């Protein structure tokens, strides 16, 4: 109960700060609008207002403050505007509609899940190789690290173009960009996890004359499970980012990325923010789902009470 | 000199069949950044079938290293070592011994029964045989009824008993124990020592036991090997005259105190000539 109260307090503070931030962010647009409606504004010309500080404008034109939370194309939309847009586009619209966020979400989700699956599979395979082969450890690991230092926003168009030229388009290029971002945390986490058994446990298997495969299945793999799930949670969020980034440079017509891009073309900030929130909610749901799986599996492995 | 000590001991009739472990002029040198470290130097020792041999000495005397050489976890750099008439590595591949480490090292994701089953799975026993042997091993260490528990649900002493059961499950003739009770408190330790003696009497295994504790070594052993460091070597081998039947209060008997005294002297001598 106390926790719930604390959580609600934090959320209330965030929302309050957001509402407050709308005032200086949107005041200029509001003043232009009310001036056109015939009201007297200080200072009088848009040119003079452009150079004035936002806070000064707020103080001098306090009568217009109420308007900043209901502008049609605000610089910063108010929370309730985003919430209404989310409701309208996610719940009210039919799922088949091009303007439904659920429709766009499904497009992005399918690329995310495919990319996550590819990335996780690749990451685990690489980690197994790295742990069992010194050559792979020394040759693959540096490249894996370098791969993550290249901004994905620079690389994504090239991946799309190259794949298009060999006839691959649609879901797969986006999934590959997702996989590119999500394999890395899995490699790092699994290498750490597969190496987590200590010397004594490895010696013990040695005294049983166990093969490397037996050591992998009985010791290394189960020991790596907590590490794997920590990595998977990072990887699924990264995969979602990858899918959205993959939708940006292609002029994709569907998906959260396309929604963001269209919103920025037409100055639809409310649409951008609602797509952002929808993506964040989706990511939170995916991570929560993995958390649930983790609890189930680790419980079966005897963790905790 | 070591040979002499051995021959001074009350005579055993040594046939090759009785001889389980035989070390001659065994050397092991670790190369480190600070130069070579002589972990073992000129170690001669015979261990016969059914003996309970303790290795005692200060840190760095090579007692654990010697045990690990027998288990083929370390490779000697000189001399000869045979286990059951084979090289240690051949013996390891034949699964000639069970090894108990200082920490129980049970897999936290396996129940006690499944932990004991681990070596049996690796060695390819049938399902039915696995279950039979697990039940038997649990019974030997008095843990029947705890097979379904996870390790964290058991006390430290019970965990160590489970790890002993794991080493016993595949019924190797040799049991090597590296300070198995070192991390346990005195009371639990006494209890486990008593149990270990009963277990040894029932199974007639050959046991190699590394310890820091003089009373523990004297109480358990038929033969006490006193070692000293830099370089790691044997300074005394004492054959215990104590009877095989040993209640805990035997530790107050004059014989017990006399042997303990001799062990202490041996440890002190090892230190003075460093």
pLDDT at A59: 83
Between the two ends of chain B, the Cα-to-Cα distance in Å is 17
Contacts of B37 (CB under 8 A, 6+ apart): B29, B30
Q: Within its chain, how far is the Cα of A44 from the centroid?
A: 43
Residue B8 φ then ψ, to 5°: -70, -25
- Judged by a CB distance cut-off of 8 A, whether residue B251 touches chain A is no
Sequence-distant (≥ 6) Cβ neighbours of residue A22 within 8 angstroms:
A68, A69, A74, A76, A77, A78
Shortest CA gap A11–chain B (Å): 39
Q: Ranked by mean pLDDT, which of A34-38, B11-15, B66-70 comes out on top?
A: B66-70
Tens-binned pLDDT, residue by residue, of chain A (305 aa): 788 999 999 999 999 999 999 988 888 888 888 888 877 887 778 788 888 888 888 888 888 888 888 888 888 999 999 999 989 888 887 777 778 888 899 989 999 999 999 999 999 999 999 999 999 989 988 899 998 898 888 888 888 889 889 988 888 988 999 999 999 999 999 999 999 999 999 999 999 999 999 999 999 999 999 999 999 999 999 999 999 988 887 666 788 988 888 888 888 899 999 999 999 999 999 999 999 999 999 888 876 54
Supply the pLDDT for residue B15: 52
Contact B158, B142 (CB under 8 A): no
Q: How far is CA A39 from CA A32, A35, A50, A162, B232, in A?
A: 10, 5, 18, 57, 98
Q: Give CB contacts under 8 A, 24+ apart, made by A98-104.
A: A98/A253, A98/A254, A101/A259, A101/A274, A101/A275, A101/A278, A103/A254, A104/A254, A104/A255, A104/A256, A104/A258, A104/A259, A104/A275, A104/A278
Q: How far, in Å, CA of A116 to CA of B157, rounded? A: 45
Calculate Rg over the CA atoms of chain A: 26
CA–CA separation, B176 and B172 (whole Å): 10
Record the pTM.
0.81
DSSP letters, B170-186, are T--SEEEEESTTTTS-H
What are the helix (H) ranges across chain A? Answer: 2-36, 46-51, 54-60, 79-87, 101-132, 134-147, 152-165, 171-194, 199-207, 212-215, 221-247, 256-265, 269-300
Report the residue count for chain B: 274
In the stretch 198-217 of chain A, residues with CB closer than 8 A to chain B read: 200-201, 203-210, 214
Task: Judge contact between A124 and A185, C-beta under 8 A.
Answer: no
CA distances from B262 to B14, B233, B265 (A): 25, 17, 5
**Which residue, among B122, B160, B208, would best test binding to A if mutated, counting the most A CBs under 10 Å from its CB?**
B122
Closest CA to A86 of A253, A255, A266, A272: A272
Q: Does residue B101 carry a pLDDT above 60?
A: yes
Helix (H, G, I), strand (E, B) or coil at B22: strand
Q: Which of A32-36, A151-155, B7-11, B230-234 has the lowest mean pLDDT?
A: B7-11
Tell me which of B103, B118, B175, B182 to substitute to probe the interface with A (most A C-beta atoms closer than 10 Å): B118
Tokens linked to A113: 């899940």
Query: Checking DSSP bridges between strand B19-32 and strand B35-48, what pairing results, if any?
Result: antiparallel
Is B25 strand, coil or helix?
Answer: strand
Distance from the Cα of A201 to chain B's closest Cα (Å) equals: 7
Interatomic CA distance for residues B119 and A237, integer angstroms: 40
* Cβ-based contacts of B98 with chain A (< 8 Å): 207
Question: For testing the chain A interface, which of B108, B109, B167, B172 should be mutated: the one with the most A CBs within 10 Å?
Answer: B109
Interface check for B98 against chain A (CB to CB < 8 A): the answer is: yes
Cβ–Cβ gap B99/A210 under 8 Å: no
């Amino acid at each position: 109960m106390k926790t719930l109260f604390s959580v609600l307090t934090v959320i209330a503070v965030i929302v309050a700060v957001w509402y407050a931030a709308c005032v200086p962010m949107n005041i200029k647009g509001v003043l232009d609008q009310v001036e056109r409606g015939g009201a007297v504004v200080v200072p009088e010309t848009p040119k003079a207002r452009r150079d004035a500080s936002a806070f000064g404008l707020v103080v001098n034109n306090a009568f217009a403050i109420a308007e900043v939370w209901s502008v049609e194309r605000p610089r910063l939309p108010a929370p309730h505007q985003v919430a209404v847009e989310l409701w309208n586009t996610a719940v009210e619209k039919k799922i088949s509609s091009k303007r439904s966020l659920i429709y766009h979400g499904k497009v992005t989700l399918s690329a995310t899940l495919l990319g996550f699956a590819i990335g996780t599979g690749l990451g685990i395979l690489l980690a197994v190789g790295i742990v069992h082969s010194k050559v792979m450890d020394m040759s693959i690991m540096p490249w894996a690290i370098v791969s993550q230092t290249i901004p994905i926003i620079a690389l994504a168009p090239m991946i799309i173009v190259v794949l298009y030229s060999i006839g691959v388009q649609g879901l797969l290029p986006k999934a590959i960009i997702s996989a590119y971002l999500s394999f890395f945390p899995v490699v790092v986490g699994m290498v750490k996890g597969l190496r987590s058994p200590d010397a004594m446990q490895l010696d013990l298997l040695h005294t049983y004359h166990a093969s490397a495969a037996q050591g992998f299945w009985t010791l290394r793999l189960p020991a790596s499970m907590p590490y794997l799930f920590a990595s998977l949670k990072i990887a699924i969020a990264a995969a979602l980012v990858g899918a959205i980034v993959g939708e940006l440079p292609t002029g994709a017509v569907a998906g959260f990325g396309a929604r963001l891009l269209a919103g920025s073309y037409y100055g639809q900030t409310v649409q951008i923010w609602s797509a952002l929130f929808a993506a964040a909610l989706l990511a939170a749901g995916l991570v929560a789902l993995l958390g649930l799986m983790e609890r189930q599996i680790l419980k079966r492995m005897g963790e905790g009470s | 000199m070591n040979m002499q000590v051995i021959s001074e001991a009350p005579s055993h009739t040594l046939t090759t069949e009785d001889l389980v472990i035989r070390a001659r002029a065994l050397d092991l040198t670790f190369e480190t950044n600070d130069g070579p470290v002589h972990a073992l130097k000129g170690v001669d020792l015979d261990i016969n079938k059914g003996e309970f041999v303790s290795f005692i000495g200060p840190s760095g005397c090579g007692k654990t290293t010697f045990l690990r050489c027998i288990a083929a976890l370390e490779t000697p750099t000189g001399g000869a070592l045979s286990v059951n008439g084979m090289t240690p590595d051949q013996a390891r591949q034949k699964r000639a011994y069970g090894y108990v480490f200082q920490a129980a090292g049970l897999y936290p994701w396996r129940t006690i029964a499944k932990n004991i089953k681990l070596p049996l799975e690796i060695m390819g026993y049938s399902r039915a045989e696995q279950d039979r042997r697990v039940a038997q091993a649990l019974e030997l260490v008095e843990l029947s009824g705890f097979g379904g528990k996870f390790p964290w649900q058991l006390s430290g002493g019970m965990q160590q008993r489970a790890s002993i059961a794991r080493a016993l499950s595949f019924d190797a003739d040799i049991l090597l124990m590296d300070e198995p009770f070192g991390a346990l408190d005195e009371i639990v330790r006494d209890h486990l020592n008593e149990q270990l003696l009963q277990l040894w009497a029932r199974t007639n295994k050959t046991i190699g036991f590394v310890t820091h504790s003089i009373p523990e070594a004297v109480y358990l052993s038929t033969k006490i090997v006193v070692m000293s460091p830099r370089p790691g070597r044997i300074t005394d081998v004492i054959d215990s005259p104590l009877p095989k039947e040993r209640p805990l209060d035997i530790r107050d008997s004059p014989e017990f105190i006399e042997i303990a005294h001799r062990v202490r002297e041996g440890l002190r001598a090892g230190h003075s000539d460093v």
